Structure 1
Amino acid sequence: MRRRPRLLGLSWLPAVVTAVGVLVLWTVVAASDWIQPAYLAPSPLEVWDAFVRANTYHPVGGGVDRVVRGEENYFLWEHLVVSLRRIAIGLVLAILVGVPLGLLMGTVESVRRVAGPYLDFLRSIPPLAYMGFLVAWFGIYDTSKIWLLFLAAFPPIALATINGVRGVREDQVNAVLSLGASRRQAVTSVVLPATTPDILSGIRVAVGFAWTTVVAAELVNGLPGIGGLAYLSGTQNKIALSVACILVIGLTAIALDFVIRLIERTLAPWRGKA
């Protein structure tokens, strides 16, 4: 059966049309009197102005005019970099713990029986529930935030690794063992490469969980930080700035997901192929 030729150069058209439609609808809603008070529904232009203001030096009033730097003395991109650093540390720790534990639980039945219920327990708890005692244990600085992001990212990575190990064909492992390889060599040369696509899928999910948790992680002493700025600006009725922060978080998450998918295509090009 012949496939219809794709229209080269027009693959971007649906996304652009959708984006324009959303902007038009957003502008209409903001310009109407449907939502009161009006500052609760900032227009796209107001959000853009807030974004530009957060990335530049700008004057403020209050008796004596002065110039301030971005928002809370940091540019918006600096808030983003700090949050990315926290997420990266929590994610790396989750990978360092989750992948070996997942391989161990996937290959050793007794370990899976013992550790499985605890992993399911951690997976079922909303990350925000940890925040109180993490602050009590580790204080209000970055340590508690990194622990929270680790707890959000660790379960999906470990579970994806376990599922990947279960999908490895037993005859492939037995073939390597019959050739004289040790159990460790079988894991590193057969199980781990075969599990790589599932591990990367788990990392994609973990990054999403980390981004949804970053605002909770930065509720306490979260500045600088994009999540902390989004929360603080909302409490101060700076809704345009809060929306700008949310858009930056969402667009950054999409960019990170795209990078992870590129890495997956590079490390596991056979993924999805017969």
Structure 2
Amino acid sequence: MISIAAGRASGSAAQRIRVALPAGPWRGIAVRVLSLALFVALWSAIAAARLVDPQFLPSPHAVWEAFVRANSWHPIAPGVQREVPGEQNYFLWEHLLASLQRIAAGAGAAVVLGPVTGFALGTSKTLATLVGPYLNFLRTLPPLGYIGLLIVWFGIGDTAKVWLLFLAAFPPVVIATIAGAQQVSADRSNAARSLGANRLQVITRVLLPATAPEVIGGIRVAIGFAWTTVVAAELNNGIPGIGGLAFLSGQQLNTPLTMACIIVIGLTALTLDAVISWIGALVVPWKGKA
């Protein structure tokens, strides 16, 4: 009887929790907000109890103060009237903007050239045989493996960083486009030709629409990979840059600022992915419906 009563009590409690949460699309948002609140509360409790040295795990309040300081004017030193902006003479949003500009240049070029290259390789076995090994070799190399060579070739300026981001983003787009082009069945192309379509019409009205969903997926992977490479790209002379600031603050044992940069990098990555997904849904509305 006691176990039955306990089961009923736990069931009613779970039911009350379910009722407390909103229904419909807001339910998922409420669950995420609740999860985030619990995570921050647990983080705050651990930091307040000093279970971990603050040098390794600062409190959320310390991270927030570092974020605010990085986005405002403040005295260069206690008791000194001279004020400086943010960190390293740049506001945090300026560091973020500098990194986004490098991503736009490097990964943007990969987004433009990758589908063209992938479509050519996916529709030509000869080109695929010639270029495929080099593409796979580039794909398997970690970005830190050739950043030194890029610095030797192009110096420590933005040119080397842009090239690094391009080389990080280019293979995923090409490989996704190749996969999309090769999965189009020959029957669809032959059916279009039998209806009077010429080669250009087959490409523009059959192959390209069928390949577009894979291209969008490849772009999502490429932008995400390029964004994770931004710290490696900004290891040398990366100021202004959010990755360079995260690396430099870590060297200076400024853990709150490092964590603030990490949070900004992560939120920016989620935002970029959401924007690309939204654009993909607009450009390729037929994805998953064929």
Match of 1:169 in 2: 185
Structure 1 or 2, whichever has the larger Rg, is 2
- Work out the CA distance in 2 between the residues paired with 1:223 and 1:11: 38
Q: CA deviation at 1:179?
A: 4.3
| TM-score where L is the length of structure 2 | 0.88
Query: Displacement, 1:161?
Result: 0.2
2:204 maps to 1:188: yes
How large is the RMSD of aligned CA atoms in angstroms?
1.6
Distance 1:180 1:78 in 2: 55
The equivalent residue for 2:213 is: 197
Q: Does 1:248 align with 2:267?
A: no
Q: 5+ unaligned residues in a row in structure 2: which ranges?
A: 1-21
Which residue does the alignment assign to 2:75? 59
Letter in 2 for 1:32: A
**Residue deviations 1:56-98 (CA, integer Å, cap 9, x gap):** 1011326743211111111100110110010011112112221
Q: 2:93 aligns with which of 47, 61, 77?
A: 77
Shift of 1:190: 1.5
Q: Which deviations, in whole Å up to 9, do the C-alpha atoms of 1:188-208 show, x marking residues without a partner?
A: 222111111110100000111
| Structure 1 stretches lacking a partner, 5+ long | 1-5
Q: Which residue does 1:119 correspond to in 2? A: 135
Identify the residue that residue 141 of structure 1 maps to in structure 2: 157
Q: Does 1:12 align with 2:29?
A: yes
Residue-by-residue CA offset, 1:94-131 (whole Å, 9 max, x unaligned)? 12221111101111111111111111111111011111
Amino acid at match of 2:40: L
Counterpart in the other structure of 2:116: 100
Tell me whether 172-181 or 211-220 shows the greater mean CA deviation. Answer: 172-181
**Residue 268 of structure 1, CA deviation:** 1.5
SS at match of 2:156: coil
Matches of 1:54 and 1:28 in 2, distance apart?
25
Deviates more, 1:175-184 or 1:162-171: 175-184
| Residue 157 (structure 1) aligns with | 173
State whether structure 2 residue 229 is matched by structure 1 residue 213: yes
| Match of residue 23 from structure 1 | 40
Please name the residue that 2:6 is paired with.
none
Give the Cα–Cα distance (whole angstroms) in 1 for the partners of residues 196 and 224 of structure 2: 41
Q: Distance in 1 between matches of 2:235 and 2:197?
A: 51
User: 2:123, 2:37 → 1: CA distance?
Assistant: 51
Secondary structure of the equivalent of 1:68? strand
In percent, how many aligned pairs have the same letter?
Answer: 54
Aligned length: 268
